[in-house]
Structure 1
């Protein structure tokens, strides 16, 4: 029903249906299943667990659209903890929610500690989001910043690293945000930012996910200035030493070595802010169980529908009312009106 209301354009009812679905699923939990301890998992490979994942993911998006970014972040953490394989792609949503909720320090700690693996920064979303985290932390007063290590790389170095590793992101951001100033044209004319594809299916898909989800963050004017100045620094560095570009190309190919798109199950539309809808005629059979359509066809074949208009009774009615009603084009008194009465008169005549 949530999907039906969404495509019908009634997003409030859709959100309400998702909330009811989550309540029903929560009522079905085992008493020992406690999500707050972080040690309980549900594997999506079990068919009965899939509604929990789809409902939680939809709930995250609904909370985000309502501006409840901190709540959406907490639900996203829960979604990520339920299955270590991350079937819904929560990893590619959580950085965006952290930035919107201003949880900059938490995101840095998360990238360092997640699965004891420090390679999260290789993903496009984390490489750029970490630079934004550091950028905002540097802008805060030192007394308000907790647990900030002065030995960390600064925001400019992190963004340079992100642009060197994923230069295609800059072109996609300029198109999506959009950034229409003339200096962006000159920057994108550089050979390093010129290619339209990376040639790596998985990476191209992840870049599309990142740009579709996070482009709105780059609409902040001072972040655009930060991006422009850092892109110019990258160009200056490449003009001095071309080996840097080759080194980062090797890192990129080694990190995303598969020739197949390993993230094809994650749809770009699921990470989009745009709200899709469907025309009314496409919604007529939306909630019909496909297994019932064959049964309906058999019933219709055995009992073909009568396309005649329903007849109106005229017995014991005012003659004047019937006269005016008969002028209406949709009124039908039946083709056999009076036939039975005529037959009765014939029978009386025979006697």
Structure 2
């Protein structure tokens, strides 16, 4: 039940720390830990999902063999939509992995065909990267091609989430059993396309995702996910926006008391690089030199703490333990 308001800069440090920790655990192959951290990250704000935790949760669940979790999550999740390419295919793959114990793949095949028909642009990219043996004529079928063509290097929302899915999930689809399952699923999907040229599911997905307006949380996810090729496909205003490694892509409704301190009362932005304001008086960073500068620094720290916490701040000085040690 714990929630953390992403608007506040102090909260965003925890979001970023969890995302980075999740990345480090995944790189070390600690998939169950990455999965649990991913769940915590999503739970802090499951509606807005500021760091796009939904884009990785299914992957970490599959890597840690939590197949039942994927099935239940798609069925029971009510906070936010999981109507994304990664969840459509991961749901089918999770079902397939559970069915292996019973020697049947009927339901997973149905889910796979549904995913292909709904997100067909996944097919030529994922099938090729996973080295699934399919005739090139099939992969170039018009149904599986992008319908949006524009004179821009930016990706649509659909292209972006498809690329994220394929880059992250491809290793899961390279085993012989999964490859055969994918081949069969594609043939069944082609049969369905021959009967109904453009199923309603594809039309709905195209209408919803074929736009160059990329949600803020997905853009932020791409910026911190260390996927440079995909980052280049973000809209120019996102790629060129002022941002910092410790606070990538702050929200539009940012609540940052430190920014308020670093600018004038008129709120028109920072005064000059390297300057700040304390109680109406503007200081330069060069003033922080020598003993006088240390006193000024302490004054600034007290001012910030009072603004943030509203409590008097005492000079920590030397701890009592250190004082006793010095006396001895």
Deviation sequence 1:233-286 (CA, Å, 0-9, x none): 1112222x134x242332214544766222552354644589xxxxxxxxxxx9
Aligned to 2:24: 62
Question: Does 2:79 match 1:138?
Answer: no
Change (3 A) 1:153 1:227: closer
1:170-209: CA deviation from partner (whole Å, max 9, x where unpaired): 122134x25274x341321222123375889222221121
Structure 1 counterpart of 2:219: 265
Q: Give, in angstroms, the shift of residue 156 of structure 1.
A: 0.5
1:88 corresponds to: 51
Is the 2:6–2:50 Cα contact (8 Å) retained in structure 1? yes
Counterpart in the other structure of 2:142: 191
> How large is the Cα RMSD of the aligned pairs?
3.4
Q: Deviations over 1:283-306 (max 9, x none)?
A: xxx99xx9669957xx9xxxxxxx
TM-score where L is the length of structure 1: 0.58
Among 106, 118, 121, the residue aligned to 1:168: 121
**Are 2:131 and 1:179 aligned?**
yes
Which residue does 2:191 correspond to in 1?
Answer: 236
Consecutive unaligned residues in structure 1, runs of 5 or more: 1-38, 143-149, 275-285, 300-351
Measured at CA, do residues 138 and 48 of structure 1 come closer, stay the same or move farther in structure 2, by a change above 3 Å? same
Equivalent residue runs for 1:181-220 within 5 Å? 181=133, 183-195=134-146, 201-220=156-175
Name the structure 1 match of 2:12: 50
Supply the distance in 2 between the matched residues of 1:180 and 1:113 (Cα, whole angstroms).
32
CA distance in 1, matches of 2:71, 2:90: 9
- Cα distance in structure 2, aligned partners of 1:211 and 1:197: 19
| 8 Å contact from structure 1 (residues 212, 268) kept in 2 | no
| Partner Cα separation in structure 2 for residue 291 and residue 50 of structure 1 | 24
Pick from 195, 204, 218: which aligns with 1:251?
A: 204
Alpha-carbon distance change, 271 to 196 in structure 1, aligned in 2, over 3 angstroms = farther
Unpaired runs of 5+ in structure 2?
229-244, 247-271, 276-283, 290-328
Matches within 5 A, 1:327-338: none
> Contact 1:80–1:86 (CA<8 Å) still a contact in 2?
yes
Structure 2 length as normaliser, TM-score? 0.62
Q: Does the aligned pair in 1 maintain the 2:132–2:182 contact within 8 Å?
A: no
- Within 2, Cα distance between the matches of 1:198 and 1:249? 17
Distance, in Å, in 2 between the alignment partners of 1:220 and 1:292 is: 56
Counterpart-to-counterpart distance in 1, 2:132 and 2:94: 25
The alignment status of 1:221 with 2:176, answered yes or no, reads: yes
Residues 197 and 204 of structure 1 are in contact (CA less than 8 Å); yes or no, is this contact kept in structure 2?
A: no
Q: CA deviation at 1:111?
A: 1.5
Q: Are residues 1:71 and 2:33 paired? A: yes
Per the TM alignment, residue 210 of structure 1 is displaced from its structure 2 partner at its CA by: 1.0
Distance 2:86 2:142 in 1: 23
| 2:146 alignment partner, SS class | coil
Instruction: Measure, in 1, the Cα distance between the counterparts of 2:116 and 2:223.
Output: 25
Runs of 4+ in 1 over 3 A off after TM superposition: 194-200, 253-259, 266-274, 290-296
1:81–1:271 distance in 2 versus 1, CA, 3 Å = same
